[in-house]
């Protein structure tokens, strides 16, 4: 034990000596800390009596003012670098191309969140990425080509219906003649301006009742282990049940 303590004391003496030398060269606490991994309070205790030359004080003052002036920009740049590292690491966690089984489950979960819970298989959204993924998913998993799908739009009255139909047709591969009647929302002053808003599109898979049952079965299989917990909590909180009004 004494040997370990002696070794630690000796190590701190080396670090303190190095810190003193760096401080005499005019380095800031942060700069010294990059070379010597000790707390700032320890550095302050070691270096509080070390005088700095006027030229070093001027450099540190100028640097401090520069940091204060950059402020939010510096924080933004730092955050951007952190996000970039997160993104690059995340990309390495996914192996491409993804397997057919992974693709099947991805589509099932997407449909669970955004798909119709009625009899026919259909999905509604405004995100071009999500819509195109669903189109490709249906084609890959069920061998149904875009030419056999149907679509309907939901847009604002100030939008160009013909051009938006052509946009979605170009993206999805669904012929314009397969687009049903568009629902046009009444003109309103209170709407969010978005120059890249293409309306909301509903993709319909004709004669797909059995298909919907199949996708629902995949979702139920994925979530089957959650049922006991959900039923137990629902039973506990049954007092929250109400009679919902029915629109006739």
Of 203 and 53, the one with more pLDDT: 203
Intra-chain end-to-end CA distance of the chain, in Å: 83
Mean pLDDT for the chain overall = 87
Whether 113 and 208 share a structural domain: yes
pLDDT at 5 over 50: no
Task: Decide if 10 is inside a domain.
Answer: yes
Whether 8 and 106 share a structural domain: no
Please, are residues 119 and 128 in contact by the beta-carbon 8 Å criterion? Answer: no
3-state class percentages of the chain: helix first, strand second, coil last, to nearest 5: 65, 10, 30
Whether 43 and 129 share a structural domain: no
Chosen domain end from 29, 51, 73: 51
Of 134 and 27, the one with more pLDDT: 134
Task: Decide if 16 is inside a domain.
Answer: yes
Q: Residue 203 forms beta bridges with which residues?
A: 123, 151
E strands, 190-237, are 200-205
Task: Decide if 63 is inside a domain.
Answer: no
List the domain range (segments joined by +) for residue 18.
Answer: 2-51
pLDDT (mean) for 164-178: 97
Please, are residues 169 and 175 in contact by the beta-carbon 8 Å criterion? Answer: yes
pLDDT at 245 over 80: no
- The reported pTM is 0.67
Whether 219 and 126 share a structural domain: yes
pLDDT at 114 over 80: yes
Whether 32 and 112 share a structural domain: no
pLDDT at 73 over 50: yes
Task: Decide if 178 is inside a domain.
Answer: yes
Contacts of 212 (CB under 8 A, 6+ apart): 116, 118, 119, 120, 121
Q: What pLDDT score was predicted for residue 247?
A: 61
Beta strand pairing call for 183-185 and 150-156: parallel
pLDDT at 62 over 90: no
Task: Decide if 159 is inside a domain.
Answer: yes
């Amino acid at each position: 034990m004494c040997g370990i303590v002696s070794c630690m004391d000796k190590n701190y003496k080396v670090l303190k000596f190095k810190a003193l030398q760096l401080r005499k060269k005019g380095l800031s606490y942060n700069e010294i800390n990059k070379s010597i991994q000790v707390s700032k309070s320890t550095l302050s205790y070691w270096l509080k009596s070390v005088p700095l030359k006027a030229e070093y004080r001027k450099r540190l003052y100028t640097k401090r003012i520069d940091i204060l002036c950059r402020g939010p920009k510096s924080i933004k740049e730092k955050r951007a670098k952190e996000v970039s590292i997160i993104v690059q690491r995340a990309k390495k966690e996914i192996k491409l191309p993804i397997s057919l089984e992974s693709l099947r489950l991805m589509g099932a979960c997407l449909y669970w969140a955004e798909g119709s819970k009625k009899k026919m298989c259909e999905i509604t959204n405004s995100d071009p990425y999500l819509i195109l993924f669903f189109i490709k998913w249906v084609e890959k998993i069920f061998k149904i080509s875009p030419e056999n799908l149907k679509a309907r739009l939901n847009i604002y009255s100030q939008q160009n219906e013909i051009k938006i139909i052509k946009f979605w047709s170009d993206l999805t591969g669904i012929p314009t003649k397969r687009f049903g009647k568009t629902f046009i929302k009444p003109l309103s002053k209170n709407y969010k301006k978005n120059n890249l808003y293409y309306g909301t599109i509903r993709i319909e898979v004709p004669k797909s009742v059995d298909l919907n049952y199949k996708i629902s079965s995949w979702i139920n299989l994925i979530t089957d282990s959650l049922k006991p917990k959900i039923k137990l909590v629902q039973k506990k909180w049954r007092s929250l049940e109400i009679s919902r009004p029915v629109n006739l």
